[in-house]
Amino acid sequence: MQVRILKSKLHQATVSATELSYHGSITVPEDLMEAVDLLPYEQVLVANCNNGQRGETYVLVGKRGDGQIQLNGAMARLAQPGDQIIVMAFADCTPTEAREMRPKVAILNTRNEVIELV
Query: What value does the mean pLDDT take over residues 72-92?
Result: 97
Instruction: Assess whether pLDDT exceeds 90 at residue 24.
Output: no
Query: What value does the mean pLDDT take over residues 88-99?
Result: 97
58 is catalytic: yes
Calculate what percentage of the chain has a pLDDT beyond 90.
Answer: 97
Domain interval for residue 81: 3-117
59 CB-side CA count, 13 A: 26
CATH of the domain at 109: 2.40.40.20
What is the pLDDT confidence band of residue 92, given thresholds at 50, 70 and 90? very high
Cβ atoms 28, 65 nearer than 8 A? no
Whole-angstrom distance, CA of residue 54 vs CA of residue 85: 9
Catalytic residue among 8, 16, 21, 58: 58
Per DSSP, 81 falls in state: T
- Condensed to tens digits (0 to 9), the pLDDT of residues 61-73 reads 999 999 999 999 9
16 is catalytic: no
Residue 65 neighbours by CB under 8 Å, 6+ apart:
29, 31
- Condensed to tens digits (0 to 9), the pLDDT of residues 37-60 reads 999 999 999 999 999 999 999 999
Number of domains present in the structure of the chain: 1
Looking at residue 103, what is its pLDDT?
98
Catalytic residue among 16, 21, 22, 25: 25
